[in-house]
């Protein structure tokens, strides 16, 4: 399975590179994230200490450190251009990060350096948002119910683990990236990086807590290339 | 006339020559009128500090494995006791006060016996461990308005805030550090950490005064689960919370506790909280 | 009676008389010829440096010690706080149950001792005695100290120090408990037991180890005329010695201001009943201040006022009954101290002014008449000790001590030699003493677990008119090299 995937991916890449016709326009990189091995078993979350949240989950939910789909697809992988694309100024539109039912929505949030981050609390309980930044400055703020959103920015690229100390099961990630070419894999493991000008790129796929894979891709025109990543998962 | 010009020229040359020397890699700290020197601070660091904080300042000194609250990692440059908002660098004075005061519930002693100059020198050296000090400025200290009058209403309002802000989730309803989330807490090094037990002590991690207490919850203790409440508590309400928190320190004779005990409600609460005997002597007269 | 005899055996004060002094300093030789009872060789090394505390708190030696055993201001504050850092970890309940606060210290050495003009037997000389230069050298070791100290509970501290000389004969150098921070203030601490006086320059933390310079001469100096006549109780006293009593001391939170008041039984730290029903007081006060980047400067003063009995009220079988000494006569030791830091260089300067009552000064029981012309001896002293601390690992030490008699107990006259029992001294400068010492200590490692030092030292002393036959100067020199370690 693995070999086949790798072979197909390599073949696709090779084909893409050799068949590329020079020309203007912008290219697209798409692909699918799959995994090999056994993903960690997700544990059920006991929210009984927080009834206002527990009542929002008729069926008990589990942790989200690895979220998989049918066909060994892997969700919540951030795919981005780590080399080859220039740094970009942040878009003016903010990204939203919600606390809902004592969970982070989305679990994996990607955005750009200096882009406005809007953190809201939709719950009837106090949360504290504690992004454990190592490169950026760490901070930790309380957000009781009914308070206005917290607005924040990060000026350095970093994968930041976010947690709420009051509700220790809450866990999420901020992927702070230097350019707008990024995508987070959906439940089918699909990602798409559109609008790429011609050039040589390094594509990085990152999965929490610290798994990272890279591939080099060259875009020479308005073409679509397919790149796939296969993460090796261990059950612990 | 000519002579003067020549002597002026010499002065200018001398300054030009000296500038790179003065402005070389040496960091400085400024606390009031005292200017700390990195080079001197290095000597003191390797006399007093390295055993816990380590040769590289990253908190891995030879004694660190034996400590259950790890020594500060100066390379990460995240500090608990600040007068500045969460996520910003502390002022030199904040660090100076931390060294002077020590941390009551950790192995970090008070270095009050050092001279002001020694401490300023140490801070200049400590700042050399992290590049953050080169690229970022210290945060602007938060504004602490004058303390509002101490009244029973103020304490009662503080009590409501304690409930509303869910302080009890970690600190417990009696402030004993035994709330429902207390046992799950970890600091930013993934080390277990306990919330402050108000009932046992009179001193806080970051000082002893009401002013210090105000700053603790309005700036947060970065690197720990204690968040900043600056965005969610109005300054005048914050003093109410201060007044209430003082009444949780049932072994510390504060004006807040005295006033609280004069009320029927307060006296009942405090007498229920009081338990006799601290056989280790801990928490008494600290 | 026992207490008196025992005290004369165990005390470290060796300035009792030139011949006894010689006995002390050439102990190896004299042990061989049968003076074991009077020798307490090298037991003067009763210094305090406690890796036990370092282990408890995890701080390196260099935190509390400028160079161990000498304290830094931080270490002094730790001691003044009752061996507490003042955080939540002071009470023993926070220690690992296996932790027992014990430290031992011993010093294997090689040393060379020389005494000029020592009195030796001679078959040909008139009087059967002549003077010779005595030189001895060889390998040796110091006494062994077992320090235990720490807290029994928050704000209750203790210190017990069983200490042996290098023959293995043990005694208790320190036995005390202390109530710390009474009434919640650092200004009130009460200590009871046998302890070192709150000397601003601690003799127990001395950085020199030789026979000549292992104690501060000024702390033990007594005029050479204080030789007890028959029926009198020998007077032996040193403010460097640990004393039995009750001490109240206090200090500011930052330890800049310090005071102590001690009420002591005047028995020079001897166990058992005091020699007399009399007390002494010792007072100290000091103030430190910071001068820019130079460091902490301290100035202070001290005063010891005491009484000592001169004869026994009762005797049994010719021996005095313990505790019944009467005919008390007074004495005092007073002085000023300044400790100055100029970055890595520091200087301690002390001035001493001392006097003993004429009965004590002449060794006369108070129920007998004083010799004609007897008066109280008065003397002044100076001590200048400086250190250069290259780093926490290397320190150089230098010391000069001077003692100058300003008033002799007897009138000046007679021959060139002082004869005990006569009522004349040879000169106004008789007994004046100079001591010089230089030393270096290198600590190859600094840790929070144990201490180790290479120690090298040379010291010599010079006392006017003290040679026993010719009345020339009596000089001692001492060279020492060794390992000093504690765990």
pLDDT at position B171, please? 93
Give me the residue spans of the domains in chain C. 2-486
**Has residue B50 been placed in a domain?**
yes
- B122 and B229 belong to one structural domain: no
ipTM: 0.82
- B32 and B60 belong to one structural domain: yes
- Asked whether the beta carbons of residue A143 and residue B231 sit closer than 8 angstroms, the reply is yes
Domain with CATH 2.60.40.10 in chain A: 1-53+63-85+181-236
Give the number of other Cβ atoms within 10 Å of residue B21's Cβ. 8
Q: What is the overall mean pLDDT for chain C?
A: 87
CATH class of A88-180: mainly beta
Please identify, among B101, B135, B169, the residue that sits at the C-terminal boundary of a domain: B135
How far apart are alpha carbons A141 and C37 in whole angstroms? 75
Cα of C249 to nearest chain B Cα, Å: 18
**Has residue B4 been placed in a domain?**
no
Tokens at B62, concatenated: 């030879």
Residue C303 has pLDDT above 60, yes or no: yes
Query: What is the Cβ-side half-sphere exposure of residue C78, based on CA atoms within 13 angstroms?
Result: 26
Residue C318 has pLDDT above 70, yes or no: yes
Residue C157 has pLDDT above 90, yes or no: yes
pLDDT band at C479 (very low <50, low <70, confident <90, very high): very high
Q: Are C111 and C478 in contact (CB under 8 A)?
A: yes
In sequence order, what are the beta bridge partners of C480? C111, C457
pLDDT at position B32, please? 86
Could you please state the CATH topology (level 3) that the domain comprising C2-486 is classified under: Porin (2.40.160)
CB proximity B270 to A under 8 Å: no
pLDDT at position C447, please? 87
- B126 and B156 belong to one structural domain: no
pLDDT at position B277, please? 46
A22 contact partners, CB below 8 Å, separation of at least 6: A220, A221
Among the listed residues A56, A61, A153, A139, the one whose alpha carbon sits nearest the alpha carbon of residue A107: A61
CB proximity A102 to B under 8 Å: no
A236 contact partners, CB below 8 Å, separation of at least 6: A40
Residue C284 has pLDDT above 50, yes or no: yes
pLDDT at position A46, please? 87
- B118 and B217 belong to one structural domain: no
pLDDT at position A54, please? 87
Between C50 and B98, the more confident residue is: B98
CATH value at residue B245: 1.10.760.10
Taken as a whole, chain A contains a residue count of 236
First to last CA, chain A: 22
Instruction: Give the residue-averaged pLDDT of C129-149.
Output: 93
Q: What is the pLDDT along chain B (286 residues), one digit of tens a residue?
A: 444 455 555 555 555 444 444 444 567 888 888 899 999 999 999 999 999 999 999 999 988 888 888 899 999 888 999 999 998 999 999 999 999 999 988 889 999 999 999 999 999 999 999 988 988 889 999 999 999 999 999 999 999 999 999 999 999 988 988 888 888 898 888 888 889 989 887 889 999 999 999 999 999 999 899 999 998 899 889 999 999 999 999 888 899 999 999 999 888 888 887 765 444 444 433 3
- Asked whether the beta carbons of residue B282 and residue C73 sit closer than 8 angstroms, the reply is no
**Has residue B123 been placed in a domain?**
yes
Closest chain A residue by Cα to residue B84: A139
pLDDT band at C104 (very low <50, low <70, confident <90, very high): very high
Cα of B254 to nearest chain C Cα, Å: 15
Cα of B37 to nearest chain A Cα, Å: 26
Residue C88 has pLDDT above 80, yes or no: no
Which DSSP letter does residue C391 get? E
Q: Are C74 and C58 in contact (CB under 8 A)?
A: no
**Has residue B141 been placed in a domain?**
no
CA C78, C82, C88, C90 torsion-angle sign: positive
The phi and psi torsions of B68 (rounded to 5 degrees) equal -95, -10
Residue C348 has pLDDT above 90, yes or no: yes
Q: Which residues of chain B have a CB within 8 Å of the CB of C59?
A: 48, 51-52, 63, 109
- B30 and B129 belong to one structural domain: yes
Cα of C51 to nearest chain B Cα, Å: 13
Interface test with C, best of B42, B59, B63 (most C CBs within 10 A): B63
- Of A138, A140, A143, nearest to B232 by CB-CB distance is A143
Query: What is the Cβ-side half-sphere exposure of residue C74, based on CA atoms within 13 angstroms?
Result: 28
Return the residue matching tokens 């040909």. C124
Residue B128 lies in domain: 25-135
**Has residue B3 been placed in a domain?**
no
Return the residue matching tokens 């007072």. C283
Residue C430 has pLDDT above 80, yes or no: yes
- Of C88, C184, C290, nearest to B117 by CB-CB distance is C290
Domain with CATH 2.60.40.420 in chain A: 88-180
pLDDT at position C28, please? 33
Q: Could you give the angle at the alpha carbon of C320 between the alpha carbons of C317 and C326, nearest 5°?
A: 145
- B126 and B216 belong to one structural domain: no
Q: Are A208 and A33 in contact (CB under 8 A)?
A: no
Cα of B233 to nearest chain A Cα, Å: 10
Q: Which residues numbered 189-228 in C keep a CB inside 8 Å of some CB on B? A: none
CB proximity B137 to A under 8 Å: no
CB proximity A222 to B under 8 Å: no
CATH value at residue B73: 1.10.760
Q: Which residues numbered 278-307 in C keep a CB inside 8 Å of some CB on B? A: 290, 292-293, 295-296
Q: At what angle do helices B235-248 and B210-219 cross, to 10 degrees?
A: 120
A233 contact partners, CB below 8 Å, separation of at least 6: A35, A36, A37, A38, A39, A40, A66, A74
pLDDT at position B47, please? 93
Return the residue matching tokens 């921070």. C181
Tokens at B89, concatenated: 């660098």
Residue C34 has pLDDT above 90, yes or no: no
How far apart are alpha carbons C125 and C134 in whole angstroms? 17
Give the number of other Cβ atoms within 10 Å of residue A57's Cβ. 13
pLDDT at position B199, please? 87
Which DSSP letter does residue B182 get? G
Tokens at B265, concatenated: 């409600």
Residue C20 has pLDDT above 80, yes or no: no
Please state the domain count of chain B: 2
pLDDT at position C99, please? 84
How far apart are alpha carbons B188 and B183 in whole angstroms? 15
Between A176 and C99, the more confident residue is: A176
CATH classification for the domain delimited by A1-53+63-85+181-236, as one of 3.60.150.10, 2.60.40.10, 3.90.1170.50, 3.30.470.20: 2.60.40.10
- Asked whether the beta carbons of residue A140 and residue B222 sit closer than 8 angstroms, the reply is yes
For residue range B189-235, list pLDDT tens digits in order. 888 888 998 988 788 999 999 999 999 999 999 989 999 999 889 98
Residue C24 has pLDDT above 50, yes or no: no
CB proximity A47 to B under 8 Å: no
Q: What is the pLDDT along chain A (236 residues), one digit of tens a residue?
A: 455 555 555 544 444 444 443 344 688 889 899 898 888 888 888 888 888 888 888 888 888 888 888 888 989 999 999 988 888 898 999 999 999 989 998 999 999 999 999 999 998 899 999 999 888 888 999 999 888 999 999 999 999 999 999 898 999 999 999 999 999 999 888 999 888 888 899 999 999 888 899 999 888 888 888 899 998 888 87
Which DSSP letter does residue C46 get? -
How far apart are alpha carbons B109 and C60 in whole angstroms? 13
- B168 and B267 belong to one structural domain: yes
Residue C25 has pLDDT above 80, yes or no: no
Helices (H) and strands (E) in chain C, counts: 8, 26
Helix, strand, coil percent values for chain A (each to nearest 5):
10, 45, 45
Closest chain B residue by Cα to residue A152: B87
Q: Which residues of chain B have a CB within 8 Å of the CB of C58?
A: 51-52, 63, 66-67, 107
Please identify, among B100, B135, B170, the residue that sits at the C-terminal boundary of a domain: B135
Between C292 and B157, the more confident residue is: B157
pLDDT at position A6, please? 53
- Asked if chain B contacts chain A via 3 or more Cβ pairs within 8 Å, the reply is yes
- B226 and B117 belong to one structural domain: no
For residue range A167-202, list pLDDT tens digits in order. 989 999 999 999 999 999 998 889 998 888 888 999
Residue C276 has pLDDT above 80, yes or no: yes
How far apart are alpha carbons B237 and C267 in whole angstroms? 65
Tokens at B83, concatenated: 């007068």
pLDDT at position A3, please? 52
């Amino acid at each position: 399975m693995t070999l086949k995937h790798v072979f197909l991916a390599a073949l696709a890449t090779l084909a893409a590179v050799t068949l590329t016709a020079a020309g203007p326009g912008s290219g697209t990189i798409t692909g699918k994230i799959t995994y090999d091995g056994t993903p960690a078993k997700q544990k059920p979350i006991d929210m009984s200490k927080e009834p206002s949240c527990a009542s929002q989950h008729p069926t008990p939910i589990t942790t989200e450190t690895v979220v998989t789909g049918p066909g060994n697809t892997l969700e919540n992988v951030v795919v981005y251009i780590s080399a080859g694309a220039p740094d970009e100024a942040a878009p003016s539109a903010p990204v939203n990060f919600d606390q809902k039912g004592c969970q982070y929505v989305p679990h994996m949030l990607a955005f750009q350096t200096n882009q406005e981050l809007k953190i809201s609390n939709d719950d009837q309980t106090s949360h504290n948002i504690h992004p454990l930044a190592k490169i950026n400055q760490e901070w930790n703020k309380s957000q009781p119910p009914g308070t206005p959103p917290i607005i924040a920015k990060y000026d350095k690229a970093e994968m930041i683990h976010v947690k709420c100390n009051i509700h220790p099961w809450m866990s999420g990630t901020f992927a702070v990236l230097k350019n707008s070419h990024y995508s987070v894999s959906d439940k089918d493991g699909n990602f798409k990086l559109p609008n790429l000008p011609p050039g040589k790129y390094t594509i990085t796929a990152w999965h929490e807590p610290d798994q990272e894979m890279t591939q080099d891709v060259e875009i020479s025109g308005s073409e679509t290339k397919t790149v796939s990543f296969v993460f090796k998962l261990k059950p612990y | 006339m000519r002579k003067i010009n020549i002597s002026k020229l010499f002065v200018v040359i001398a300054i030009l020559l000296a500038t790179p020397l003065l402005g070389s890699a040496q960091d400085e700290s400024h606390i009031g009128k005292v200017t700390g020197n990195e080079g001197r601070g290095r000597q003191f660091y390797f006399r007093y500090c390295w055993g816990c904080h380590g040769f590289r300042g990253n908190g891995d000194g030879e004694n660190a494995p034996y400590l259950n609250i790890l020594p500060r990692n100066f390379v990460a440059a995240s500090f608990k006791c600040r007068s500045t908002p969460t996520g910003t660098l502390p002022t030199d004075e904040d660090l100076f006060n931390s060294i002077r005061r020590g941390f009551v519930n950790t192995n970090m002693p008070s270095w009050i016996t050092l001279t002001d100059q020694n401490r300023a020198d140490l801070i200049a050296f400590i700042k050399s461990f992290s590049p953050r000090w080169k690229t970022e400025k210290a945060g602007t200290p938060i504004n602490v308005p004058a303390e509002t009058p101490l009244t029973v209403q103020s304490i009662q309002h503080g009590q409501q805030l304690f409930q509303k802000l869910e302080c009890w989730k970690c600190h417990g309803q009696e402030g004993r550090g035994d709330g429902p989330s207390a046992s799950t807490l970890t600091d930013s090094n993934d080390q277990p950490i306990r919330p402050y037990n108000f009932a046992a002590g009179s001193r806080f991690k970051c000082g002893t005064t009401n002013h210090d207490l105000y700053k603790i919850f309005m700036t947060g203790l970065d690197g720990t689960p204690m968040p900043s409440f600056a965005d969610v508590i109005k300054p005048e309400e914050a003093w109410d919370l201060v007044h209430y928190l003082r009444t949780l320190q049932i072994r510390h004779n504060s004006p807040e506790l005295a006033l609280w005990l004069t009320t029927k409600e307060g006296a009942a609460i405090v007498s229920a909280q009081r338990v006799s005997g601290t056989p280790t002597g801990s928490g008494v007269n600290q | 009676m026992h207490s008196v005899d025992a005290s004369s055996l165990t005390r470290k004060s060796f300035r009792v008389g030139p011949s006894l002094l010689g006995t002390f300093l050439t102990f190896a030789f004299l042990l061989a010829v049968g003076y074991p009872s009077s020798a307490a060789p090298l037991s003067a090394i009763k210094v305090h440096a406690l890796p036990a505390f370092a282990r408890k708190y995890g701080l390196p030696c260099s935190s509390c010690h400028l160079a161990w055993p000498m304290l830094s201001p931080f270490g002094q504050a730790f001691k003044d706080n009752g061996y507490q850092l003042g955080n939540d970890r002071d009470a023993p309940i926070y220690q690992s149950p296996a932790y027992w606060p014990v430290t031992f210290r011993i010093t294997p050495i090689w040393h060379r001792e020389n005494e000029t003009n020592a009195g030796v037997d001679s078959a040909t000389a008139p009087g059967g005695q002549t003077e010779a230069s005595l030189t001895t050298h060889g390998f040796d070791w110091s006494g062994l100290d077992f320090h235990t100290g720490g807290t029994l509970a928050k704000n209750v501290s203790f210190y017990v120090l069983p200490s042996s000389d290098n023959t293995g004969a043990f005694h208790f150098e320190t036995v005390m408990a202390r109530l710390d921070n009474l009434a919640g203030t650092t200004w009130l601490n009460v200590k009871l037991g046998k302890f070192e006086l709150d000397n601003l320059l601690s003799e127990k933390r001395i950085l020199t180890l030789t026979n000549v310079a292992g104690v501060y001469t000024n702390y033990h100096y007594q005029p050479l005329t204080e030789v007890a006549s028959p029926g009198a109780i020998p007077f032996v006293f040193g403010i460097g010695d640990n004393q039995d009593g009750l001490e109240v001391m206090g200090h500011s939170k930052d330890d800049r201001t310090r005071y102590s008041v001690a009420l002591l039984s005047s028995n020079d730290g001897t166990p058992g009943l005091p020699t007399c029903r009399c007390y002494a007081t010792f007072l100290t006060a000091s103030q430190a201040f910071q001068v820019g980047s130079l460091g902490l400067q301290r100035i202070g003063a001290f005063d010891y006022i005491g009484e000592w009995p001169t004869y026994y009220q009762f005797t049994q079988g010719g021996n005095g009954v313990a505790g019944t000494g009467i005919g008390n006569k007074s004495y005092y030791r007073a002085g000023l101290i300044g400790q100055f830091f100029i970055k890595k260089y520091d200087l301690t300067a002390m001035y001493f002014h001392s006097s003993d009552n004429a009965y004590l000064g002449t060794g006369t029981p108070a129920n007998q008449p004083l010799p004609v012309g007897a008066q109280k001896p008065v003397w002044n002293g100076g001590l200048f000790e400086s250190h250069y601390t290259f780093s926490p690992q290397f320190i150089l030490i230098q010391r000069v001590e001077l003692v100058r008699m300003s008033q002799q107990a007897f009138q000046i006259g007679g021959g060139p030699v002082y004869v005990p029992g006569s009522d004349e001294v040879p000169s106004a400068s008789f007994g004046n003493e100079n001591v010089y010492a230089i030393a270096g200590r290198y600590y190859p490692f600094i840790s929070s677990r144990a201490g180790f030092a290479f120690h090298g030292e040379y010291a010599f002393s010079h006392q006017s008119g003290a040679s026993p036959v010719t009345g020339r100067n009596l000089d001692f020199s001492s060279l020492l090299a060794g390992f000093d370690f504690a765990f």
